[in-house]
């Protein structure tokens, strides 16, 4: 209401004897703004869904609730549905002109169990969290591999090419398959079996089941540098 009053005041201030301010003129201005998706400006916060934000922009945008189950929504069970959710997130991100803030809650309620995870769409983009190591980070008696940062460049390139093909076939961003840091670690330690592969940070049981055999075959076929 304040925005409408302010718009009416602006039209009245700009009126001339030849073109006086009228209610019909205000309605015409509102119709024109609606067709251009240009709402009257007002100091405040716009609360909108991702769907409703299409075509609009703000100086600052806050995307809250970016956790699995909300983004992508738990009802998105097919690849097409997940792809549509990813597109919606892109819409939300690109609404920001200057400032973008993305957040998620680890629990639904304050003090609740911190079981929620950030959306998979931000894997590889979200800042790494520095937490104290937990006893169950790796299987009992198995430590994570110690790295020097010097890896086999040829093997690294071969792994990246394999990852590119997998990402293309599954229509997913490459970093959701394995990150560059994980590929570099594999190229450095050159695992010969799943036990060694499991010591690489970023490789869990699901990744081993899905890609383990192929990764080990790539490593085995690449001559040591």
Chain Cα centroid distance, residue 31: 36
Domain membership of residue 190 (yes or no) is yes
Q: Which residues of the chain fall below pLDDT 50?
A: 132-141
Domain membership of residue 201 (yes or no) is yes
Number of domains in the chain: 3
Residues whose CB is less than 8 angstroms from the CB of residue 5 and which lie 6 or more positions away in sequence, other chains included: none
Domain membership of residue 210 (yes or no) is yes
Residue 180: give its domain's CATH number.
Answer: 1.10.150.80
Q: Give pLDDT tens digits for 170-213.
A: 888 888 888 888 898 898 889 889 888 888 888 888 888 889 99
Q: Give pLDDT tens digits for 91-112.
A: 999 999 999 999 988 887 777 7
In this predicted structure, what is the pLDDT of residue 213? 92
In this predicted structure, what is the pLDDT of residue 93? 92
pTM: 0.40
Domain extent for 89:
58-122
First to last CA, the chain: 71
């Amino acid at each position: 209401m304040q925005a409408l009053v302010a718009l009416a005041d602006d039209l009245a201030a700009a009126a001339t004897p030849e073109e006086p301010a009228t209610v019909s003129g205000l309605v015409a201005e509102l119709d024109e703004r609606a067709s251009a998706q240009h709402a009257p400006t007002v100091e405040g916060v716009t609360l909108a869904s991702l769907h409703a934000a299409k075509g609009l922009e703000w100086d600052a945008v806050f995307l809250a609730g970016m956790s699995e189950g909300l983004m992508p929504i738990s009802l998105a069970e097919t690849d097409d549905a997940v792809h549509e959710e990813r597109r919606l997130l892109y819409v939300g991100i690109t609404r920001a002109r200057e400032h973008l803030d993305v957040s998620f809650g680890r629990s639904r309620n304050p003090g609740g169990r911190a079981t929620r995870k950030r959306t998979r769409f931000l894997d590889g983009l979200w800042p790494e969290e520095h937490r104290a190591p937990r006893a169950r980070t790796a299987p009992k008696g198995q430590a994570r591999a110690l790295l020097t940062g010097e890896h086999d460049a040829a093997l690294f390139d071969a792994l990246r090419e394999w990852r590119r093909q997998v990402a293309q076939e599954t229509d997913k961003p490459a970093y959701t398959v394995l990150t560059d840091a994980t590929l570099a670690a594999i190229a450095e330690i050159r695992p010969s079996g799943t036990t060694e592969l499991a010591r690489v940070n970023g490789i869990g049981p699901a990744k081993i089941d899905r890609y383990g055999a192929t990764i080990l075959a790539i490593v085995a076929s690449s001559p040591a540098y």
